[in-house]
Structure 1
Amino acid sequence: MTRKDRRVSDRRDSGPPVGDDGRDETVEERADRRWIEVLQELRVLQTGTQILTGFLLALAFQPVFADLGAGQRALYLVLVSLAALSAVIALAPVALHRIVFRRRVKPEVVYFGHVSLIAALAAVSLLLTGVVAFVFDVIVGEVASWIAGIALGTVILVLWVIVPTAIRRWGRNPE
């Protein structure tokens, strides 16, 4: 099979659908490029998640932690669980890649990475909102906590969902 025969636009036989964005690359080249992009995004997401997780874990060992109410402790445990879940989801593509290494399924690994990153972003959005609400609750009070949580949730919704969706819908068409 020649290089030209392996163009992305000709791929119909396996894996998730892969759009042709006009680049002159084979299926394998596109998968390699996209995998590198997924890994870069994983690095950014994982770093932020690790910092938040460390912050949360350190809180339990602070003297003031004993003063938290039952609701605050429950929220704290939910946030620790969300931090762990987001880390596991974000690392799942790496684990998959290790297990299927050299099995010639890179497009499927990239697709799994894409889906995992979206799920991890959803978990991180809840985590960020929850951490901010938790801190506001402890420092200022419950009303401020709700206001801060709703405000941050709205900003995340706008910047992570609405703006990208609008750009995707009305942005430059690669064709």
Structure 2
Amino acid sequence: MPAQSDRPAPGRDETPEERADRLWTDMLQEVRVCQTGAQILFGFLLSVVFTPRYRGLPAFDHDLYVATVFLGALATGTLIAPVAFHRFLSGRGMKPELIHVARRLIAAGLVLLALTITGALLLLLRTATDLSTAAWVLTGITLGWFATGWLLLPWYVMRRGSRRDAARRRTER
């Protein structure tokens, strides 16, 4: 994600502190959705091991389950980390530093969440159907969709906006 400067965003009349407050509030709103989804998914994953069908799964699916639960734990912890970080730094005038770290934690958490979801999907499709190849293909398509929607499209829009801003600055000279 691009670094945020202390300068106000174009079209905004805000101090660096107001900007930091706005960015932090925006980040909290965004991460709430991810946190809730990660926590619910993680909770469901934890319960799978206690089902009768789990014991009959092949070794690969047991390993896939353990890896998926591990990824789910990492995703949940990583997406909750900005809140814990804020608790430690609250009132110390370090919100720009908090935003810098939280941005990276949220990005890492989204990657871990995407891997958790695709791992859970692969396990589910392998268990629910006897179509192992189809399970791998559908899971690959899902992971590709996450990469496209969560990484490539935002990158493309950001790059396009940077080019537009650069062209506007050239014409303003």
The TM-score normalised by the length of structure 2 is 0.86
Q: Residue by residue, what CA displacement relative to the aligned partner does 1:94-140 show, whole Å, maximum 9, x if unpaired?
A: 11111112110001101111111100011011111111111111112
- Paired residue type of 1:33: R
Given that residues 89 and 120 in structure 1 are in contact (C-alpha distance below 8 angstroms), is that contact kept between their aligned partners in structure 2?
yes
Cα offset for 1:142?
2.1
- C-alpha distance in 1 between matches for 2:20 and 2:8: 12
Cα offset for 1:19?
5.2
Aligned to 1:115: 104
Aligned to 1:143: 133
Structure 2: runs of 5 or more not aligned: none
- CA separation of 1:157 and 1:98: change in aligned 2, threshold 3 A: same
Aligned to 1:97: 86
* 1:153 equivalenced with 2:146 (yes/no): no
Pairs within 5 Å for 1:1-175: 17-18=5-6, 20-22=8-10, 23-140=12-129, 141-171=131-161, 173=165
Structure 1: runs of 5 or more not aligned: 1-14
Cα offset for 1:20?
3.7
- Paired residue type of 1:81: F
Q: Percent identity?
A: 36
Given that residues 16 and 108 in structure 1 are in contact (C-alpha distance below 8 angstroms), is that contact kept between their aligned partners in structure 2?
no
Cα offset for 1:16?
6.7
Cα offset for 1:18?
3.9
Cα offset for 1:155?
0.8
**78-87 vs 141-150, greater mean Cα deviation:** 141-150
- Paired residue type of 1:97: H
The TM-score normalised by the length of structure 1 is 0.85
Q: Which is helix-richer, 1 or 2?
A: 2
Given that residues 86 and 124 in structure 1 are in contact (C-alpha distance below 8 angstroms), is that contact kept between their aligned partners in structure 2?
yes
Cα offset for 1:50?
1.1
